[in-house]
Amino acid sequence: MIKIISSNLGYPRIGEKREWKQALEQFWEGKIQETELLLITKVIRLNNLKKQQEKGIDLIPVGDFSLYDHVLDTSVMFGVIPERFDYKGGKVSLDTYFAVARGTKNAVASEMTKWFNTNYHYIVPELENIQPSVTENRPLSFYQEAKEELGIDGKPVLLGPITYLKLAKIQDDVHFEKLLETFIPLYIQVLKELEQAVVSWVQVDEPIFGMNLSPQILTFAKKAYETIHQAVPNLNILLQTYFENVVDYKKVVDFPVQGIGLDFVHGDALSFIQEHGFPHDKVLAAGIINGRNIWRADLEERLDVLEQLKQIVTNKLIIQPSTSLLHVPVTKKLEQEIDPFIYGGLAFADEKLAEIVTLTKALDKGRDLVKSALKDATESLKQWKDASFGKNQEVHQKLENLTDTDINRKVIFSERIKKQKQYFQLPLLPTTTIGSLPQTSELKKVRTKWRKGHVTTGEYEQYIRDYIKKWITIQDQIGLDVLVHGEPERTDMVEYFGEKLNGFTVTKFGWVQSYGSRCVKPPVIVGDVSFAKPMTVKEVVYAQSLTTKPVKGMLTGPTTIYNWSFVHDDLPRKTVLNQIAIALKAEIEILEESNIKIIQVDEPALREGLPLDRNKWPAYLDDAVTAFRLATSSVEVDTQIHTHMCYSNFEDIFEAIDGLDADVISIETSRSHGNLIATFEDNTYNKEIGLGVYDIHSPRVPSIEEIKQNINRALQTISPNQFWINPDCGLKTRNETETIEALQTMVDAAKIIRKTALSYQK
């Protein structure tokens, strides 16, 4: 008989009410000391473990917890600290840890970028001039902690060597092989100690196998795992993949490890197994419950899949979520205010673990044992399918009547831009910002009070107007050319629209970690999306009334709204995207009628949503581009459409970016150290573009020299006639003083460079 047990891959770090975030931020503000931070976070960590234990999870992950990011944790464990942080070897201090993540007065932070196709960000390891060594055995200490404090025989989690090095953006295979040779002995050292501690299983995360890797890299990977196996033959290693099919399934399942973890939600692992089999000597860890959405699963259907696996696998079967639960909120039990119908369909991390336990019992001991849980799930699903809830015929009609003219601007860019230049009369190298301005704690307090009814809507709106007025004055004084209203009315760029469009609902505590202590609360799409009422017009029109400079209208694009929402799983992606686009189009038309002539439609999440498997890219990009064009194409020739994207690696989606047909794009650049600029050497891009000239994720104010350098570097390849000057991203997480100082420096730099810029012209 095969043995069936339940497991988890990772649990949300942030606590039910974001206690983790509060502790971190208090520490950074100097309000609590290190010992207190460590104590508070230990309580959170143990509580997370205890919950999994009480739910009845057999194999509980340990070491998945982090004070910032698990990729940074891995770097720190191996002493991989960039030279500029003056690290002298030995255990890395907490100050250094946060310095690498956030930057200091003297040293810029390491680059941060998105973790596969999620909205979680990791700190990119910098592997130049390093002498790595094991500075601490993190997984071991977390394993021991769980054992001593709670009697849990946990499953230490490590980021695997192939994924770690690939995430460091090592392109060249020879270099990759060298680094792998350096790191494998260190991994072995860590694993040996785990072997000695007699841990039952170690989870080695290798999501990179969901991507298209070269045969070279796969050969190195196989060799690496062979070396590891020879060194720790008695350690049970579970090679864990997620987010996608294992592209080279046949090769990877033959690696000498004791277990393989596959994702049975994203991609098609079942048919791979049916076609190619599964090695008899290995344990299969089946990621059967979706770790990326917030919906209850169809348990009967999932059981059918598991039954099939049970026939194929001869060894042990581990039942688990498809990914770490890091990407979903903690518990639905706090959502008492949500529509009961929707509540019934939800499953956050805790509820997903309960589903795992139910499935494990059913598969092990028969469905009868958990009859009522199964019945309950089936009924809830049926209710969703039958309900008229959220259905909107009119929207479907509109979608059916779309034609090509709906996705094309009236004239091509080269014609439009002439009209626009004439209309706006902006100086060379126009300066602007990305949209949001500092959200002070006072602003957040007023908003909370208003939400609780302690401040009237009139008072709140007056507060927002005062904020806008103050910042329009500041921007005018600084000398920016295109202004923004500052987005003070928005907590979050997606949630704000979610609250106003039909088809959405919002949760109260549905937070997930985005980067560092920053959490986002994705809205929830439960039905057909449509325009209900103007969403942004009042604030922007007010801002425009205060200045003669153009103020940008500011919207979030369809793909970003989609990717940063939890979308109900019975709605087809393309349909939802186009529904959002049609709703945004209505908003854009009202802005235009109200004389807002520059409208920015942000798509920061376009890149991150790319499927891991490149074969699936064209379809994804096509849908994203169509939806963007559908939203933005109806405007007049001299209305200027802007878009904004965060984070680099744009070279491979260049065509799609061009295809958006936005008149101006601003892109985050400064942390990727000019890599992006090289892209423009190889590609012709005729539209206008602003490459972020300073990093906004770090509290550090840039020097004028630095900014000038960044601009000059860009002007080596991009014509000054098409170049804009702006920060990397929105400024809402920064404070007022540092923002004013940084923007003034930016504008000063622009003014200096303008004098000579035309001499750069190619």
Contacts with Zn ion, residue ranges (CB under 5 A): 604, 646, 729
Q: Nearest approach, Cβ of 483 to Zn ion (angstroms)?
A: 18
3-state secondary structure of 256: coil
Q: Nearest approach, Cβ of 728 to Zn ion (angstroms)?
A: 7
Query: Would you count residue 114 as binding ligand GLN (CB under 6 A)?
Result: no
The residue among 180 and 696 lying less far from Zn ion, judged by its C-beta, is: 696
Q: Residue 44: exposed, middle, or buried by beta-carbon count in 10 A (0-12, 13-18, 19+)?
A: middle
The residue among 416 and 485 lying less far from Zn ion, judged by its C-beta, is: 485
Query: Would you count residue 667 as binding ligand GLN (CB under 6 A)?
Result: no
Q: Which residues make Cβ contacts (< 8 Å) with residue 259, sequence separation at least 6?
A: 201, 236, 237, 238, 239, 282, 283, 284, 285, 316, 318
Query: Would you count residue 584 as binding ligand GLN (CB under 6 A)?
Result: no
Q: Nearest approach, Cβ of 660 to Zn ion (angstroms)?
A: 15
Binding site partner of 621, from Zn ion, ligand GLN, none, Cβ cut-off 5-8 A by kind:
none
3-state secondary structure of 667: strand
Q: Count H helices, E strands: the chain?
A: 27, 21
How many Cα atoms occupy the beta-carbon half-sphere of 291 within 13 Å?
28
The residue among 434 and 525 lying less far from ligand GLN, judged by its C-beta, is: 434
Pairing of strands 121-123, 112-114: antiparallel
Binding site partner of 493, from ligand GLN, Zn ion, none, Cβ cut-off 5-8 A by kind:
ligand GLN
The two structure tokens encoding residue 340: 């009961």
Query: Would you count residue 607 as binding ligand GLN (CB under 6 A)?
Result: no
Q: Nearest approach, Cβ of 414 to Zn ion (angstroms)?
A: 27
Contact between 321 and 8 under an 8 Å Cβ cutoff? The reply is yes
Rounded to a whole number of angstroms, the distance between the first and last alpha carbons of the chain is 73
Of 16, 126, 587, 602, the one binding ligand GLN by CB under 6 A = 602
Of 435, 523, 550, 692, the one binding ligand GLN by CB under 6 A = 435
Query: Would you count residue 113 as binding ligand GLN (CB under 6 A)?
Result: no
DSSP secondary structure letter of residue 482 = B
Query: Would you count residue 137 as binding ligand GLN (CB under 6 A)?
Result: no
3-state secondary structure of 580: helix
Query: Would you count residue 486 as binding ligand GLN (CB under 6 A)?
Result: no
Q: Nearest approach, Cβ of 218 to Zn ion (angstroms)?
A: 34
Query: Would you count residue 732 as binding ligand GLN (CB under 6 A)?
Result: yes
Q: Can you state the percent helix, strand and coil of the chain, rounding each to 5?
A: 50, 15, 40
The residue among 377 and 646 lying less far from ligand GLN, judged by its C-beta, is: 646
Give the Cβ contact number of residue 425 at 10 Å.
Answer: 8
Query: Would you count residue 266 as binding ligand GLN (CB under 6 A)?
Result: no
Of 4, 191, 646, 740, the one binding ligand GLN by CB under 6 A = 646
Say which of 70, 485, 568, 697 is annotated catalytic.
697
Closest alpha carbon to 579 in 530, 527, 631: 530
Gap between the Cα atoms of 152 and 156, Å rounded: 11
Closest alpha carbon to 432 in 552, 515, 330: 552
Gap between the Cα atoms of 720 and 740, Å rounded: 25
Query: Would you count residue 436 as binding ligand GLN (CB under 6 A)?
Result: yes
Binding site partner of 61, from Zn ion, ligand GLN, none, Cβ cut-off 5-8 A by kind:
none
Binding site partner of 204, from ligand GLN, Zn ion, none, Cβ cut-off 5-8 A by kind:
none
Instruction: Give me the helices (H) in 600-645, please.
Output: 617-632
Of 260, 269, 346, 493, the one binding ligand GLN by CB under 6 A = 493
Binding site partner of 127, from Zn ion, ligand GLN, none, Cβ cut-off 5-8 A by kind:
none
Query: Would you count residue 604 as binding ligand GLN (CB under 6 A)?
Result: yes
Q: Nearest approach, Cβ of 645 to Zn ion (angstroms)?
A: 7
Length of the chain: 762
Chain residues 286-345 in contact with ligand GLN, contact rule CB under 6 A: none
697 is catalytic: yes
Gap between the Cα atoms of 482 and 739, Å rounded: 16
Cite the active site residues. Answer: 697
Interaction site with ligand GLN (CB under 6 A) = 434-436, 487, 493, 554, 602, 604, 644, 646, 729-730, 732
